[in-house]
Amino acid sequence: MNNISKSQKKTALVTGASRGIGKSIAEALINNGFFVYATYNSTDISDMEKKHKDSLEFIKVDFKSTQDLQKFIKNIQKHNFDLVINNAGMFEQEVFDKYDHDIWYNTFQVNLHTAFEICINLIENIKEDGSIINIASTDGYQGSFGSMAYAASKAALLNLTKSLANNYGALGVRVNSISPGWINTSMATDASYEAASLSPLGRNGKPEEISDVVLWLASDAARFVTGSDIKVDGGYTNVDYIMKKEAEDIKNQEQ
Protein backbone atom coordinates (compact mmCIF):
# COMPACT_ATOMS: atom_id res chain seq x y z
CA MET A 1 0.00 0.00 0.00
CA ASN A 2 2.82 2.43 0.77
CA ASN A 3 3.89 2.40 -2.90
CA ILE A 4 0.53 3.65 -4.14
CA SER A 5 0.60 7.31 -5.16
CA LYS A 6 -1.90 9.79 -3.73
CA SER A 7 -3.66 10.06 -7.11
CA GLN A 8 -4.17 6.29 -7.24
CA LYS A 9 -5.62 5.93 -3.75
CA LYS A 10 -9.24 6.10 -2.78
CA THR A 11 -10.02 9.27 -0.87
CA ALA A 12 -11.91 9.63 2.40
CA LEU A 13 -12.97 12.46 4.66
CA VAL A 14 -13.08 11.64 8.38
CA THR A 15 -14.25 14.31 10.81
CA GLY A 16 -13.04 14.20 14.40
CA ALA A 17 -10.11 11.95 13.53
CA SER A 18 -7.49 12.92 16.10
CA ARG A 19 -8.52 10.52 18.86
CA GLY A 20 -10.74 7.62 19.87
CA ILE A 21 -13.05 6.10 17.28
CA GLY A 22 -12.23 8.71 14.64
CA LYS A 23 -8.51 8.08 14.92
CA SER A 24 -9.06 4.33 14.65
CA ILE A 25 -11.23 4.83 11.54
CA ALA A 26 -8.69 7.11 9.87
CA GLU A 27 -5.80 4.73 10.50
CA ALA A 28 -7.80 1.70 9.35
CA LEU A 29 -8.63 3.46 6.08
CA ILE A 30 -5.01 4.50 5.57
CA ASN A 31 -3.89 0.93 6.18
CA ASN A 32 -6.35 -0.18 3.51
CA GLY A 33 -5.14 2.14 0.79
CA PHE A 34 -7.04 5.39 1.37
CA PHE A 35 -5.75 8.92 1.41
CA VAL A 36 -7.56 10.58 4.32
CA TYR A 37 -8.49 14.21 4.83
CA ALA A 38 -9.16 14.49 8.55
CA THR A 39 -10.43 17.18 10.89
CA TYR A 40 -9.35 18.00 14.41
CA ASN A 41 -9.90 20.81 16.86
CA SER A 42 -7.60 20.82 19.90
CA THR A 43 -5.91 17.40 20.16
CA ASP A 44 -2.19 17.09 19.42
CA ILE A 45 -1.91 15.49 15.97
CA SER A 46 1.88 15.67 15.45
CA ASP A 47 2.57 11.95 16.01
CA MET A 48 -0.27 10.90 13.74
CA GLU A 49 0.82 13.31 11.01
CA LYS A 50 4.40 12.04 11.17
CA LYS A 51 3.33 8.41 11.08
CA HIS A 52 1.05 8.84 8.07
CA LYS A 53 2.65 11.81 6.28
CA ASP A 54 2.02 10.39 2.79
CA SER A 55 -1.60 9.36 3.39
CA LEU A 56 -3.09 11.94 5.72
CA GLU A 57 -3.87 15.65 5.72
CA PHE A 58 -5.31 17.26 8.84
CA ILE A 59 -7.55 20.32 8.77
CA LYS A 60 -8.22 22.31 11.96
CA VAL A 61 -11.84 23.29 12.42
CA ASP A 62 -14.16 24.06 15.33
CA PHE A 63 -17.53 22.70 14.28
CA LYS A 64 -19.30 24.65 17.02
CA SER A 65 -18.63 27.71 14.85
CA THR A 66 -20.93 28.11 11.83
CA GLN A 67 -18.28 30.30 10.23
CA ASP A 68 -15.60 27.63 10.69
CA LEU A 69 -17.94 24.98 9.26
CA GLN A 70 -18.74 27.05 6.17
CA LYS A 71 -15.07 27.85 5.58
CA PHE A 72 -14.15 24.18 5.95
CA ILE A 73 -16.81 23.05 3.46
CA LYS A 74 -15.70 25.62 0.91
CA ASN A 75 -12.09 24.43 1.15
CA ILE A 76 -12.86 20.70 1.14
CA GLN A 77 -15.01 21.05 -2.00
CA LYS A 78 -11.75 21.16 -3.94
CA HIS A 79 -11.54 17.38 -3.54
CA ASN A 80 -13.58 14.37 -4.59
CA PHE A 81 -14.30 11.51 -2.24
CA ASP A 82 -15.04 7.81 -2.30
CA LEU A 83 -16.06 7.90 1.33
CA VAL A 84 -17.26 10.48 3.86
CA ILE A 85 -17.31 9.64 7.57
CA ASN A 86 -19.19 12.02 9.87
CA ASN A 87 -17.65 11.15 13.21
CA ALA A 88 -17.01 14.50 14.92
CA GLY A 89 -19.04 14.61 18.10
CA MET A 90 -19.60 16.53 21.29
CA PHE A 91 -20.66 15.02 24.62
CA GLU A 92 -21.24 17.08 27.74
CA GLN A 93 -23.08 16.13 30.92
CA GLU A 94 -26.02 18.30 31.91
CA VAL A 95 -27.81 19.25 35.13
CA PHE A 96 -31.46 18.88 34.20
CA ASP A 97 -32.86 21.26 36.85
CA LYS A 98 -30.38 23.99 35.91
CA TYR A 99 -30.20 23.34 32.20
CA ASP A 100 -27.44 25.06 30.23
CA HIS A 101 -29.00 25.76 26.84
CA ASP A 102 -25.58 26.31 25.28
CA ILE A 103 -24.91 22.58 25.70
CA TRP A 104 -28.08 21.81 23.73
CA TYR A 105 -27.31 24.18 20.85
CA ASN A 106 -23.60 23.36 20.62
CA THR A 107 -24.22 19.62 20.74
CA PHE A 108 -26.75 19.76 17.93
CA GLN A 109 -24.42 22.02 15.94
CA VAL A 110 -21.55 19.54 16.16
CA ASN A 111 -23.37 16.20 16.17
CA LEU A 112 -26.17 16.86 13.70
CA HIS A 113 -25.94 20.15 11.82
CA THR A 114 -22.30 19.58 10.84
CA ALA A 115 -23.08 16.16 9.36
CA PHE A 116 -26.10 17.58 7.51
CA GLU A 117 -24.15 20.46 5.98
CA ILE A 118 -21.26 18.21 4.93
CA CYS A 119 -23.60 15.71 3.29
CA ILE A 120 -25.69 18.35 1.52
CA ASN A 121 -22.75 20.41 0.29
CA LEU A 122 -20.38 17.61 -0.68
CA ILE A 123 -22.76 15.33 -2.55
CA GLU A 124 -21.43 16.50 -5.92
CA ASN A 125 -17.93 15.68 -4.67
CA ILE A 126 -18.78 12.10 -3.76
CA LYS A 127 -18.09 9.65 -6.54
CA GLU A 128 -20.75 7.32 -7.92
CA ASP A 129 -20.67 4.10 -5.89
CA GLY A 130 -19.35 6.20 -3.02
CA SER A 131 -20.50 5.97 0.57
CA ILE A 132 -21.40 8.14 3.55
CA ILE A 133 -21.19 6.70 7.06
CA ASN A 134 -22.52 8.60 10.05
CA ILE A 135 -21.24 7.61 13.49
CA ALA A 136 -24.31 7.72 15.73
CA SER A 137 -24.73 6.03 19.13
CA THR A 138 -26.94 3.54 20.93
CA ASP A 139 -27.84 6.54 23.12
CA GLY A 140 -30.03 7.60 20.20
CA TYR A 141 -32.31 4.63 20.87
CA GLN A 142 -33.33 5.61 24.38
CA GLY A 143 -34.00 8.54 26.66
CA SER A 144 -31.31 10.11 28.79
CA PHE A 145 -31.01 11.59 32.28
CA GLY A 146 -27.97 13.86 32.16
CA SER A 147 -27.06 13.95 28.46
CA MET A 148 -30.31 14.76 26.68
CA ALA A 149 -28.67 16.84 23.98
CA TYR A 150 -26.29 14.05 23.04
CA ALA A 151 -29.01 11.37 22.94
CA ALA A 152 -31.45 13.56 21.01
CA SER A 153 -28.81 14.64 18.49
CA LYS A 154 -27.83 11.04 17.83
CA ALA A 155 -31.49 10.02 17.43
CA ALA A 156 -31.86 12.78 14.85
CA LEU A 157 -28.67 11.64 13.10
CA LEU A 158 -30.14 8.13 12.77
CA ASN A 159 -33.21 9.56 11.06
CA LEU A 160 -31.14 11.91 8.88
CA THR A 161 -29.18 8.89 7.67
CA LYS A 162 -32.36 7.27 6.39
CA SER A 163 -33.52 10.45 4.65
CA LEU A 164 -30.16 10.97 2.96
CA ALA A 165 -30.14 7.34 1.84
CA ASN A 166 -33.56 7.83 0.26
CA ASN A 167 -32.44 10.90 -1.66
CA TYR A 168 -28.93 9.84 -2.65
CA GLY A 169 -29.69 6.30 -3.76
CA ALA A 170 -30.49 7.49 -7.29
CA LEU A 171 -27.01 9.02 -7.44
CA GLY A 172 -25.37 5.71 -6.56
CA VAL A 173 -24.28 6.93 -3.11
CA ARG A 174 -25.03 4.74 -0.12
CA VAL A 175 -25.68 6.28 3.32
CA ASN A 176 -25.52 4.23 6.50
CA SER A 177 -24.84 4.74 10.19
CA ILE A 178 -23.04 2.88 12.94
CA SER A 179 -24.23 3.07 16.54
CA PRO A 180 -21.42 2.24 18.94
CA GLY A 181 -22.32 1.12 22.44
CA TRP A 182 -19.93 1.58 25.33
CA ILE A 183 -16.48 1.93 23.78
CA ASN A 184 -13.35 2.46 25.85
CA THR A 185 -12.11 5.83 24.61
CA SER A 186 -11.21 9.17 26.16
CA MET A 187 -14.95 9.95 26.25
CA ALA A 188 -15.57 7.01 28.61
CA THR A 189 -16.61 7.77 32.19
CA ASP A 190 -16.19 5.78 35.39
CA ALA A 191 -19.85 4.78 35.13
CA SER A 192 -19.49 3.63 31.52
CA TYR A 193 -16.98 0.95 32.48
CA GLU A 194 -19.72 -0.69 34.55
CA ALA A 195 -21.58 -1.45 31.32
CA ALA A 196 -19.37 -4.50 30.82
CA SER A 197 -21.25 -6.30 33.60
CA LEU A 198 -24.47 -6.05 31.56
CA SER A 199 -23.04 -6.87 28.16
CA PRO A 200 -23.59 -10.46 26.94
CA LEU A 201 -19.95 -10.44 25.82
CA GLY A 202 -18.83 -9.28 29.26
CA ARG A 203 -16.78 -6.30 28.14
CA ASN A 204 -16.92 -2.88 26.55
CA GLY A 205 -15.83 -2.32 22.97
CA LYS A 206 -12.60 -1.15 21.40
CA PRO A 207 -12.33 1.63 18.79
CA GLU A 208 -10.99 -0.79 16.19
CA GLU A 209 -14.21 -2.80 16.48
CA ILE A 210 -16.00 0.22 15.06
CA SER A 211 -13.45 0.85 12.32
CA ASP A 212 -13.75 -2.80 11.24
CA VAL A 213 -17.45 -2.21 10.55
CA VAL A 214 -16.62 1.01 8.70
CA LEU A 215 -14.31 -0.93 6.39
CA TRP A 216 -17.09 -3.42 5.64
CA LEU A 217 -19.75 -0.76 5.01
CA ALA A 218 -17.37 1.11 2.70
CA SER A 219 -16.53 -2.01 0.71
CA ASP A 220 -18.22 -3.72 -2.23
CA ALA A 221 -19.30 -6.44 0.20
CA ALA A 222 -21.93 -3.95 1.45
CA ARG A 223 -22.90 -2.65 -2.01
CA PHE A 224 -26.64 -3.35 -1.43
CA VAL A 225 -26.74 -1.84 2.08
CA THR A 226 -28.10 1.68 2.47
CA GLY A 227 -30.31 3.46 4.99
CA SER A 228 -29.25 0.99 7.66
CA ASP A 229 -27.89 1.40 11.16
CA ILE A 230 -25.55 -1.19 12.60
CA LYS A 231 -25.39 -1.43 16.37
CA VAL A 232 -21.91 -2.37 17.58
CA ASP A 233 -22.47 -2.75 21.31
CA GLY A 234 -21.65 -6.32 22.30
CA GLY A 235 -25.37 -6.94 22.74
CA TYR A 236 -25.68 -4.36 25.52
CA THR A 237 -28.96 -2.89 24.24
CA ASN A 238 -30.50 -6.37 24.22
CA VAL A 239 -30.32 -6.56 28.00
CA ASP A 240 -32.97 -5.47 30.48
CA TYR A 241 -31.26 -5.04 33.84
CA ILE A 242 -34.22 -6.27 35.93
CA MET A 243 -34.73 -9.40 33.81
CA LYS A 244 -31.03 -10.18 34.05
CA LYS A 245 -31.05 -9.63 37.81
CA GLU A 246 -34.12 -11.86 38.25
CA ALA A 247 -32.49 -14.66 36.26
CA GLU A 248 -29.31 -14.38 38.33
CA ASP A 249 -31.32 -14.49 41.57
CA ILE A 250 -33.16 -17.65 40.47
CA LYS A 251 -29.90 -19.28 39.46
CA ASN A 252 -28.32 -18.42 42.81
CA GLN A 253 -31.30 -19.84 44.69
CA GLU A 254 -30.97 -23.16 42.91
CA GLN A 255 -27.32 -23.53 43.77
Q: Distance between CA 218 and CA 13 in Å, rounded?
A: 12
Percentage of the chain beyond pLDDT 90 is: 83
> Average pLDDT of the chain?
93
Of residues 173 and 5, more confidently modeled:
173
Q: Distance between CA 44 and CA 74 in Å, rounded?
A: 24
pLDDT at 2 over 50: no
The pLDDT, as a whole number, for residue 1 is 37
- Residues annotated as part of the active site: 150
The pLDDT, as a whole number, for residue 200 is 94
Compute the chain's Rg from CA coordinates.
19
Residues 6+ apart with CB under 8 A from 151: 137, 139, 140, 142, 143, 144
The pLDDT, as a whole number, for residue 57 is 97
Q: Distance between CA 199 and CA 173 in Å, rounded?
A: 34
CB 34 within 8 A of CB 12: yes
- Domain spans of the chain? 6-254
Question: Domain 6-254 is in which class?
Answer: alpha beta
Total count of residues recorded for the chain: 255
Q: What is the pLDDT of residues 181-218, one digit of tens each?
A: 999 987 667 777 788 888 999 999 999 999 999 999 99
Reduce the DSSP state of residue 234 to 3 states and report it.
coil
